Amino acid sequence: MNLFSLASGAGAPEGAPAICSRKACRAGADWQLLWNNPRIHTPERRKVWLSCTEHRGWLEDYLQTRGLWKETLPFTAGTAIGEQQGGNS
């Protein structure tokens, strides 16, 4: 099932710019959408999609429709949580 392939960039390589997860959008990320798929993830696990302000609503709706959305938090460099690649700080 390739339902989530549109956001396969989540967890980008270290040093990659934090950009919107929406396909074909290259805007900088302003939001991080936390989600969990209970069919494949443990309940405490959080996947993260980054989103620009324009696509925040679209991505939230996408996740909410499927019952996966958990919460949306402001994104600023260094505040990513969940499974975005980070350092060892």
Q: Does 52 bind Zn ion (CB under 5 A)?
A: yes
Q: Measured between alpha carbons, how far is 82 from 53 in angstroms, rounded to an integer?
A: 20
Binding segment for Zn ion (CB under 5 A), chosen from 6-14, 50-58, 61-69, 72-80, is 50-58
Q: Does 73 bind Zn ion (CB under 5 A)?
A: no
* Region of residue 56 (phi > 0: left; psi between -120 and 50: alpha; otherwise: beta): alpha
Rounded to the nearest whole angstrom, what is the least distance from the CB of residue 89 to Zn ion in the complex?
27
Q: 64: which residues sit within 8 A by CB, 6+ positions away?
A: none
Rounded to the nearest whole angstrom, what is the least distance from the CB of residue 16 to Zn ion in the complex?
16
Interface residue with Zn ion among 4, 31, 33, 55 (CB under 5 A) is 55
Q: Give the count of alpha carbons within 13 A of 51, CB side only.
A: 24
Which residues of the shown chain bind Zn ion in the complex (CB under 5 A)? 20, 22, 25, 27, 52, 55
